[in-house]
Amino acid sequence: MMSSKQLPILVLKEGTQETKNKDAQKNNINAAKLVAQIVKTSLGPRGMDKMLVSPIGDVTITNDGATILKEIDVEHPAAKMMVEISKATDNEVGDGTTSTVVLAGALLEKAEQLIDKNVHSAVIVEGFKKSAQESIKILRDSAAIKIDPRDKAWLYKIAQTSMASKMVSLNSKDLAEVVVNAVLNVAEKVGETLKVDTDNIKTEKKAGGSIQDTRLIQGIVLDKEVVHAGMPKHIEEARIALVNAPLEIEKTEFDAKINVSSPDQMQKFLDEENKILKSMVDKISSTGATVVLCSKGIDEMAQHYLSKAGILAVRRIKESDMTKLSKATNATMITNIDEITSNDLGYAKLVEEHKVETDKWVFIEGCENPKSVSILVRGGSERVVDEAERSIHDAIMSIKDVIEYPYVIVGGGAAEALASQKIREWTDSLSGRAQLAAEAFADGLETIPLALAENAGMDPIDTQVRLRTKISAVISNGMAKYGVDVLNNKVADLAAKDIYEPLGVKEQVINAATEAACMILRIDNVIAASKTKDTATPSGTGGPYGGAGADMDL
């Protein structure tokens, strides 16, 4: 469908719907607020989980904002923008996806109140942008604590806070250790700072056992078994050939060239085939390889020859795993077996097949390049391991964030509450309506601690008063430590409870939420091309969201 933006001015196709000014704004704000409401109740340790059922009946249970929004199918263009920011936050910093959407929703709600008072949206946008900058400045200057990125005690706190809001919170202590060790293992010094490539951390999950059986493997786990029963299952000082070619004879050749007319000929042909396979195996084993990891199939005859040569082989390994294996073991990926030499082989201290529940998996440990690890995620059921894996992902990302940008702030809404209060003081320096926008921004920030409180069943007004009083008492020295202790249902010093988050995540939350809110506020005209006939909603209503159609390309 042609984007209506390209159409000449005022010449709109028949059926095109146009919503203008306040109507358009209200409509967009409402849609975005609805999305924020969906995830708001899942914020924080006392947030609830959502059960999402896909059209084909797959069930996901999660409280991860990005996952919730990914699974639900929103139609409204402004709602889609909210989904986009949660995705962007997921990609940028990995954690804080729910907070981003909740904050954006809150900012829009406050903006709506100003629009009702005839404050122009351009003024609000301007005020929000300045306030966001100021908030980040406040956090950096008076709330952030610089840490040593290798200090495990700090990293444990961060990982535990990230997992405190998840289904896995009871095991967050054990998991924090796994996560922190995994990330430190792959951290590399680049100039003065540490960098983490999370691609070097592979997570494999298997339902069964319990979450605390989750463990870190110094190497790579393949969810594949050794291909032939006669092969060794345990090889030390392994010399590894990485083969990116089939160890079989391509069936097409078979079809094309053979014209068998007698049993004799058939036998000859098979002998010939065996010879080719044997020569492939001989070629590989002549290099001194003791392990063959192959991305394609391995013919039964080839398996037989490999096992006779005492080689452990695994077939049909995923491309992405082949790349990781190459990096970890220093093996060169071979596509032409005739060219393999001993220089192409990689090394691992141990290659071994283990039973994981009913499956057999191959573990490649003690690799040449130790900057490659796996986390084997365990848990009672498929859904538990899935959510555990998502929580571990968030924690890994949090640790990466704080290692690369080693500043932390107190969680539980403490940082937001302090910033909110300081923004209110700062508004005095602004004039007129900009002041109103900045105040609205301060209110928006406060929504985070209040949402945490509400989800814990605490009274929001009561919490707000207590929080403001506590913070006023310490605001002169700028300490951000009073937040919502949701586990004990009170406003408390959360630094004392070791609830810390990466500053990088908070900055992203504020930036992304402000950006989305402003983007939505700047739209004063929605022009939606008419839908194609069979999917059309009754004209004039434009579907469940009113004026704006779903195909609008914003």
If one asks whether residue 487 binds ligand ADP (CB under 6 A), the answer comes out as yes
Q: What would the x/- binding string for ligand ADP be over residues 81 to 120, using CB under 6 A?
A: --------------xxxxx---------------------
DSSP string, 185-210: HHEEEETTEEEE-GGGEEEEEEEBS-
β-partners of residue 205 are 377
Instruction: Quote helix, strand, coil % in the chain, to nearest 5.
Output: 55, 20, 30
Residue 530 touches which member of Mg ion, ligand ADP, none, C-beta under 5-8 Å by kind: none
For 371, residues 6+ apart whose C-beta sits below 8 A from its C-beta are 185, 186, 188, 200, 328
Closest CB 75 distance from ligand ADP, rounded Å: 23
If one asks whether residue 171 binds ligand ADP (CB under 6 A), the answer comes out as no
> Please, which residue, 158 or 222, has the CB nearer to ligand ADP?
158
> CA-CA distance, 412 to 421, in Å (whole number)?
16
Handedness of CA 344, 349, 352, 355 (dihedral sign): negative
For 408, residues 6+ apart whose C-beta sits below 8 A from its C-beta are 144, 145, 147, 154, 157, 158, 402, 500, 501, 502, 503
> CA-CA distance, 243 to 221, in Å (whole number)?
17
> CA-CA distance, 231 to 298, in Å (whole number)?
13
> Please, which residue, 135 or 172, has the CB nearer to Mg ion?
172
If one asks whether residue 47 binds ligand ADP (CB under 6 A), the answer comes out as yes
Applying the rule CB under 6 A, the residues between 190 and 229 that interact with ligand ADP are none
Residue 67 touches which member of Mg ion, ligand ADP, none, C-beta under 5-8 Å by kind: none
> Please, which residue, 375 or 499, has the CB nearer to ligand ADP?
499
If one asks whether residue 241 binds ligand ADP (CB under 6 A), the answer comes out as no
β-partners of residue 482 are 493
| Residue 537 known to be catalytic | no
Residue 511 touches which member of Mg ion, ligand ADP, none, C-beta under 5-8 Å by kind: none
Reported as type and span, the H/E element at residue 35 is: helix 21-40
- Judge contact between 430 and 100, C-beta under 8 A: no
If one asks whether residue 351 binds ligand ADP (CB under 6 A), the answer comes out as no
Residue 17 touches which member of ligand ADP, Mg ion, none, C-beta under 5-8 Å by kind: none
Applying the rule CB under 6 A, the residues between 50 and 69 that interact with ligand ADP are 63, 65
Applying the rule CB under 6 A, the residues between 436 and 475 that interact with ligand ADP are 448, 452
| Residue 532 known to be catalytic | no
Dihedral angle over CA of 483, 489, 492, 497, nearest 10:
-90
- Judge contact between 40 and 97, C-beta under 8 A: no
Q: Given candidates 90, 92, 95, 248, which one binds Mg ion under the rule CB under 5 A?
A: 95
The single residue of 62, 97, 447, 463 carrying the catalytic annotation is 97
> Please, which residue, 95 or 344, has the CB nearer to Mg ion?
95
Indicate the burial class of 487 (C-beta count within 10 angstroms; 0-12, 13-18, 19 or more): middle
Closest CB 7 distance from ligand ADP, rounded Å: 40
Stretches 18-26, 95-103, 316-324, 332-340: which one binds Mg ion (CB under 5 A)? 95-103
> Please, which residue, 346 or 504, has the CB nearer to ligand ADP?
504
Strands 234-243, 291-294: parallel, antiparallel or unpaired by DSSP?
parallel
Stretches 93-101, 243-251, 347-355, 472-480: which one binds Mg ion (CB under 5 A)? 93-101
Closest CB 168 distance from Mg ion, rounded Å: 12
> Please, which residue, 452 or 521, has the CB nearer to ligand ADP?
452
Three-class SS state of 158: helix
Q: What would the x/- binding string for ligand ADP be over residues 127 to 166, using CB under 6 A?
A: ----------------------------------x--xx-
213-247 burial, b if ≥16 CB within 10 A, otherwise e?
ebebbbbbbbbbbbbbeebbeebeebbbbbbbebb
> Please, which residue, 289 or 494, has the CB nearer to Mg ion?
494
Applying the rule CB under 6 A, the residues between 367 and 426 that interact with ligand ADP are 411-413
Closest CB 142 distance from ligand ADP, rounded Å: 18
| Residue 98 known to be catalytic | yes
- What is the chain's Cα-based Rg? 29
**Active-site amino acid positions:** 64, 97-98, 394
The residues of the shown chain that bind Mg ion, judged by CB under 5 A, are 95
The residues of the shown chain that bind ligand ADP, judged by CB under 6 A, are 42-45, 47, 63, 65, 95-99, 161, 164-165, 411-413, 448, 452, 484-487, 499, 501
